[in-house]
Structure 1
Amino acid sequence: MAQNVAIYDTTLRDGTQAENFNLSLEDKLRITLKFDELGIDFVEGGWPGSNPKDVEYFKEIRKYELKHTKVTAFGSTRLFANPAEQDGNLNALIAAKTPGITIFGKTWDIHVHDALRIELADNLLIIEESLKYLRPHVQYLTYDAEHFFDGFKANPEYAYATLDRAIAGGADCLALCETNGGTLPTELSAIIDAVKAHLKAKKSTIQFGIHAHNDSECAVANSLIAVSMGATQVQGTANGFGERCGNANLTSIMPALALKMGYGFTAAPNLHRLTEVSHFVSELANLSPNKYQPYVGQSAFAHKGGIHVSAVQRNPLTYEHMVPEKVGNVRRVLISDLSGKSNVLVKAKKMGLDLDSKDPVVSAIVKELKDLENQGFQYEGAEASFELLMRRAMGTPKKYFDLHGFRVMSQKTPDGVLQEEATIRLAVGGEEVHTAALGNGPVNALDKSLRKALTRFYPNLKEMELRDYKVRVLASEHGTEARVRVLIESRDQDSMWGTVGVSPDIIEASWQALVDSITYKLMKDEQNRK
């Protein structure tokens, strides 16, 4: 195994600068505990001098006994007008009482002149004095060389000088920051070589790290290259959350380092929990997980084309770069108009259906699937509907009720209030039921009326809820005559499932998806009782 590398997570600080990404104090505490369980080395909790929430976070996190994670406070070098001991930012960092402190300073001469509006020599002074003041108060002291790579390209000698002064101030690690995200891997490697040569000439043994942003889609690549060239600390965020295009994605960096490059770190043996942790962070931020994200995304190991599925069944290496379970993910076989018999057989086996490749039913299912998808049906997010389709082809599904008719009425009162009412006539075991219900919109009214009709026969429907409802307009050039596809996600206390409906009438499409959802629930419960 290669040398160890420290994983430094800044989701709670840099990640929260992402658009639409917000965390409460409780969220930040829960994420810290989750990162500690995973084995993240450093968690940057926030900037204690910038807002009350971060001040409170550092007070609260001290009440927890973390097994491995070292919480780190973040801030800047002192204001030029303040002596270090009178600088509010530096004293707030000390007051946070964290094992680690990270401060950033200006490396790029344009920032010194235009942002700080001080002389280049003055900036060198505040870098060294700030670190010297913090040094006795903290166990781990990191210096973030902000805009290092752009600064180096503009004025390499000054960039070197900022690092030298950070070393003189007592930093344990120099984090080279690719702050604007515009440096390509070919540029980065040459600059790191130059930095290593400079440090060697100065006879310095200080460690260096990498902090990359993703504006050129190179943050992960730049981080991996930096580690391969000797960086012993890699900074980033969960799922790559961060300002603009995001930070280096630790959810991709960690498995690459451990499983492909042979690096060791405390979280490496726990990567089977990586998908869980990734989704946990997204959930607390009230954001849907990115299904296309490498390693942990729902589609990361999903196979759609029939030839691909057939090959993967024989040997997963044919179309997968690694075993999904190593990062807590799973292989998925998708059903679509690209599907062949292999897809159907894999799905059937997973659903406990006994089908043989030579069975004519398989060909019939494939044909019906392609016909339905040509009409606009999509089963990739509606596997419950696909299972019902297969069972109908096999002649096995039970019919739990018969629809005699439904009607949905929308009315707008003179005072502008919308009222929707749905009435349904159906029969269960020969007994006819006629129900009506008001709803918040026509689909909600229909859903409530259907449940009202069925719950006295099937009480377990009370534990089922509609979790998500999506409408997609198909062939929008047809305007209001276009067909729509409705996808519904339902859940109970045990599982979640998706169903689909397609029609030029949004109510009818919704009805199809609702009926499949309820039918699947009733079928699932009946199977569990056997």
Structure 2
Amino acid sequence: MQTDAFHVFDTTLRDGAQREGITYSVADKLAVARLLDQIGVGFIEGGWPGAMPKDTEFFARAAAGELTLRHATLVAFGATRKAGVRVEDDTQVRALIDSQAPVVTLVAKSDVWHVERALRTTLEENLAMVRDTVAFLRAHGRRVFLDCEHFFDGYKHDPDYGVRVLDAAAAAGADVGVLCDTNGGMLPMGVHDVVADIARRADIRLGIHTQDDTGCAVANTLAAVDAGATHAQGTANGYGERAGNADIFAVIGGLVTKMGRDVLPDGCLTELVRVAHAIAEIANLAPDTHAPYVGAAAFAHKAGLHASAIKVSPELYNHLDPSVVGNGQRILVTEMAGRASVELKSQELGVDVSSRPDVVSRVVERVKEREAAGWSYEAADASFELLVRDELAGAVSTPFDLESYRVIIDRREDGALVSEATVKLRAGGHRVISTEEGNGPVNALDRALRRALEGAYPQLAKMELTDYKVRIMAGRHGTDAVTRVLIETTDREREWTTVGVHGNVIEASWLALHDAVRFGLLGSATPAL
């Protein structure tokens, strides 16, 4: 279990679920909770039972044994009793008890403006609402954290009232008073000053909850910790309303690798990348490739100058060893690439060119020439590896010889569009003709090519095209525009990406398909005859 010296508190399932476009089912919520537990967070806020039917069901299923947590403690979220209502009679507070969650986070107003204008009650009644609700939950054996909503804005209006709210919560038995930058308008300097001041005046453990409206949520969280907060809240991948919340993965990365805080159980830090991407899949959102620590590009290097230094020592251009957080270093090969980039990228792909400076020179020149013509190997590692292997072999190795291909699009009387492709080639000592239909010209061409080759290479039956991207490149120096095609392929064991470029989209697609098949057959035995 995470020690109580520092709290890493995740609110992906409550605050993070407020992001536009995210809708979790109860099964999704259970799956996300299990993933968060695997990175060793101390607390997982599951939602608002009694207010949201799915959240009520989530807690019921968790209590019934569907959620076993190794590191984390489950937290229910709710509000203080309503103004003028006895806490025993508040059904929302009763739902928090019924959730069976061992910890409850209560949200309370800490800004005089919000108390008087939004709650429309008195400052004293608001304090009584805090005291009564915290004491009631404590009497029922619950641990209580208090989220002080709009704390930083309220500090500007009245720097003393927020302290009174914290004192009321502490006197009633609350463990933590969380200072919330609800509107997300703070900057790190201001957060640090306020937290440091409150730490001197309030007799309760302080927490921090930040929104990212100024792009400073993570920085604000770390500034608060530096000023004395020992409870940090965040969400997976920064999901949340408006611009989002503090990204829990970046917060953890900063706490552990930059501030020396031992906030996770042993072995959990290396799970950050895997869990970040898995939660993105459940949320049906593409992982942010440029996210700090966990993004696929977080340790990717493009400039030749960087690669030259990394070849000497990776620490020269990496702020930490990527493997610490479960990530890896990547070298991107583009027109900026130099010899070091090609050597490191080849090594990354398992091709040794260290003893072949002539090959490295030729690859550098070919990459620069092709990039100038619109090719891009940055996202097409398979095509780059084939280019290197061809230069090592001194010739282009191909598993078949193309005689011709033809693609026809037939618009029928009923309005249906049917694409048909015919491929003629020689493979395994035989001339093969294959015709296939598809839902588009590239799909038809892909199916015809693989069908033609399956007799010689049966393993191609496992291959399938999983993604197809087209970009029209603007013409330069008066030349016509060209089309760049990226194709992603899988054989159910691995995935690879290839690229093709031509003025004709079908030929560009063919070039990418050709590379996809060549790469898929690397290391294969002699074709069947």
Task: Report if aligned partners of 1:3, 1:263 keep a CA contact under 8 Å in 2.
Answer: no
Structure 1 position 128, deviation (Å): 1.9
> Any idea what SS the aligned residue of 2:168 has?
helix
Equivalent residues of 1:98, 1:138 under 8 A apart: no
**Residues 101, 138 of structure 1: 8 Å contact kept:** no
Match of 1:338 in 2: 336
* 1:188 has 2:196 as partner: no
TM-superposition CA deviations, 1:348-406 (whole Å, max 9, x none): 23334342466322211111100101111111110000011111222265321111111
Contact conserved, 1:17 with 1:243, CA < 8 A, in 2? yes
Tell whether 2:473 aligns with 1:470. Answer: no
CA contact (8 A) 1:336 1:370 kept: yes
Shift of 1:276: 0.9
Aligned to 2:439: 440
CA distance in 2, matches of 1:358, 1:432: 37
Match of 2:59 in 1: 58
**How big is the shift at 1:123?**
2.2
What TM-score, normalized by structure 1, do the two folds share?
0.94
Q: Check 1:49–1:478 CA distance in 2 against 1; reply closer, same or farther (3 A cut).
A: farther
Taking the TM superposition and a 5 Å limit, the aligned residue runs for 1:315-354 are 315-354=313-352
Q: Deviation digits for residues 326-360 of structure 1, max 9, x if unmatched?
A: 00111111110000111111222333434246632
- Over 3 Å counting, the alpha-carbon distance change for 1:462 and 1:274 in structure 2 is same
Once the 2 structures are TM-superposed, how far is the Cα of residue 101 of structure 1 from its aligned partner?
Answer: 0.5
Label 1:289 to 1:267 Cα distance change in 2 as closer, same or farther (>3 A). Answer: farther
**Equivalent pair of 2:196/2:228 in contact (CA under 8 Å):** no
1:87-145, Cα deviation, whole Å (9 max, x unpaired): 12111111110111101011222322332233333322222222222222244210000
Q: Give the 3-state SS of the residue equivalent to 1:523 in structure 2.
A: coil
Shift of 1:243: 1.0
2:410 alignment partner in structure 1: 411
Alignment map for 1:419-438 (pairs within 5 Å): 419-438=418-437
Residue of structure 2 in register with 1:216 after alignment: 214
Once the 2 structures are TM-superposed, how far is the Cα of residue 282 of structure 1 from its aligned partner?
A: 0.8
In percent, how many aligned pairs have the same letter?
A: 44
Contact persistence 2:146–2:176 (CA under 8 A):
yes
> What is aligned with 2:74?
71
Cα deviation code 1:254-282 (max 9, x no counterpart):
12111221112234642011111111111
Question: What residue number does 1:385 align with?
Answer: 383
Higher mean alpha-carbon deviation, 381-390 vs 84-93, is at: 84-93
C-alpha separation in 2, matches of 1:479 and 1:144: 62
- Which residue of structure 2 aligns with residue 490 of structure 1? 489
Q: Partners in 2 of 1:488 and 1:137 — Cα distance? A: 59
Q: Report SS of the residue matched to 1:214.
A: coil
Which has the larger displacement, 451-460 or 94-103?
A: 451-460
Letter in 2 for 1:452: R
Q: Deviations over 1:164-188 (max 9, x none)?
A: 2222332110010111111111111
Q: What is aligned with 1:6? A: 7
Structure 2: how far apart are the matches of 1:480 and 1:307?
31
Amino acid at match of 1:111: H
SS in structure 2 at match of 1:156:
coil
Report the counterpart of residue 17 of structure 1 in structure 2: 18
Question: How much has 1:160 moved relative to structure 2?
Answer: 2.3
Conservation of the 8 A alpha-carbon contact between 2:47 and 2:76: yes
**Structure 1 residue aligned with 2:27:** 26
Partner of 2:228: 230
The 8 Å contact of residues 195 and 224 in structure 2, kept in 1 or not, is answered as yes
Q: Is the contact between residue 193 and residue 227 of structure 2 (CA under 8 Å) also seen in structure 1? A: no
Determine the C-alpha separation between the residues in 2 that align with 1:525 and 1:288: 33
Distance 1:168 1:305, change over 3 A: same
**Aligned AA (2:239):** F
Contiguous gaps of at least 5 residues in structure 1: none
What pairs up with 1:121-160 in 2 under 5 angstroms? 121-160=124-163
Residue equivalent to 1:374: 372
In 2 relative to 1, CA 4–397 (structure 1 residues): closer, same or farther, beyond 3 Å? farther
Q: In the TM superposition, what whole-angstrom CA distance separates every residue of 1:21-60 from its partner, at most 9, and x where no partner exists?
A: 2322222112212222221100001111222211111112
1:106 aligns to what? 109
Partner of 1:115: 118
Report if the CA contact (8 A) 1:15-1:242 is conserved. yes
- Per the alignment, residue 256 of structure 2 pairs with 258
Q: TM-score, normalised by structure 2?
A: 0.94
The count of corresponding residues between Structure 1 and Structure 2 is 521
Aligned partners of 2:133 and 2:412: how far apart in 1?
68
Distance 1:478 1:314 in 2: 39
What is the Cα-based RMSD across aligned positions, in Å?
2.2
d(CA) in 1 for partners of 2:161 and 2:305? 57
| 1:37 matched to 2:2 | no
Distance in 1 (alpha carbons) for counterparts of 2:306 and 2:13? 40
Q: How does 1:160-179 map to 2 (within 5 A)?
A: 160-179=163-182
* Equivalent residue number for residue 306 of structure 2: 308
Cα separation, 1, equivalents of 2:271 and 2:71: 16
Q: State the 1:83 CA deviation.
A: 2.0
Distance 1:479 1:67, change over 3 A: farther
Report if aligned partners of 1:48, 1:58 keep a CA contact under 8 Å in 2.
Answer: yes
Q: Name which of structure 1's ranges 327-336 and 416-425 shifts more when overlaid on structure 2.
A: 416-425
Q: Which runs of 5+ in 2 are unaligned?
A: none
Question: In 2, Cα distance between the equivalents of 1:429 and 1:458?
Answer: 8
CA distance 1:478–1:490, change in 2 (3 Å): farther
Measure, in 2, the Cα distance between the counterparts of 1:94 and 1:323. 45
